[in-house]
Structure 1
Amino acid sequence: MSEIQARKGLIWIIGGIGALLIAAMVIVKIWFAATVFMPIDEAAIAAASEPLDPEEQIVRDMVTPVALGTPVMPTVTPALDPADYSRDLARFIPIEVGMDRYLAKDELLLHYNSEPLSENPEARAKVSSNEQMIDGATLFVIRRSGMADDSVAAEETFALFDGAVLVDFGSRIQCRRGDTPNQWTTTLCP
């Protein structure tokens, strides 16, 4: 019987050690949760969901670093009229209706940032972008200004996405010369 009692004692010891390990793991888990994870701050969540002030939005959405003279991207509103843009003028950008949202945005970013590097960083064109949800769709607008071109001063393209699909797009430009210099137009500059 002493051998059976020894086995029972060993089982009780192993069981006791197991229970202590489980209790220790529970205590560590509670301590970890209490010290690492902070309670949910409802005010911080509400503040994060509020729109940013326009300057913060511009800084967050800049494609190029913020520098003196960087153009301010206008706030995109539902009043953006596709008639003010031309899909034919955007023919130089390899995007088309039905294209995947991320691929289309990549193509736009590549097109707008494709200017050759200049030895003088101030001489580089400035690129800015803005993206907003409007009536369940995503409107992305990208602009390049301060271009070294003697004809074109700035160009802008909008892309409208329904979910992950491009449903509409168009471009417009500002000419340095002509009948209406520095006004947005959908015709090629003289």
Structure 2
Amino acid sequence: MSNTFLTPSYHWRNRYLLMRHGHSQANAQGKIISSPEQGLANYGLSEQGEQQLEEALAQWSWPVPTQIVHSDFLRTTHTAARVAAAFGVGMQQEAGLRERHFGELEGQADSHYPDVWAFDAKSAEHTQWQVEPVSRVAARMCAVLEALEQRFTNETVLIVSHGDPLQILLTALAGKPLTQHREQPALLPASITLVGG
């Protein structure tokens, strides 16, 4: 991971729309679904999530994406597919954009998230409950952006990922300590944040 990439003054070759997936079946059930074994084939968008995507596309005020890159989890694939169909853009999967893995908390109640975040605030390297460390999430998310920067020029790239990874990425891009990622405004389902360009 290049240090220059993470400075707020980095000169971007592309602009990026960072999109959190729409409300999912896992959200509806209050479950942590973070493993590929569960997330790749199960727990797509909920009815609420489908409605969110419909509204987001009807009220689209962002630059039109020319490339779409998404986590290969079902909920992010569904979200990317809706946008791709609306704008006639191809899409590609990227495992580096997957959900943060929550280890032993997989399949448990999402009320455990604040317990993990409390440890995050103390150390970006912690692996309590065998969760994926914040530092590792930041590294893989930034690596995806670095690769896209090398691959494209003057494109508008929609990146569809998950709440924690996107907040961690935005914290890294702002040059802030990764332990502060929960101080970022929460990313709502189907929300978009513009970076670069």
Q: Which has the higher contact order (CA 8 A, sep 6+)?
A: 2
Decide which structure has greater helix share.
2
TM-score normalised to structure 2 length: 0.24
Decide which structure has greater strand share.
1
TM-score normalised to structure 1 length: 0.25
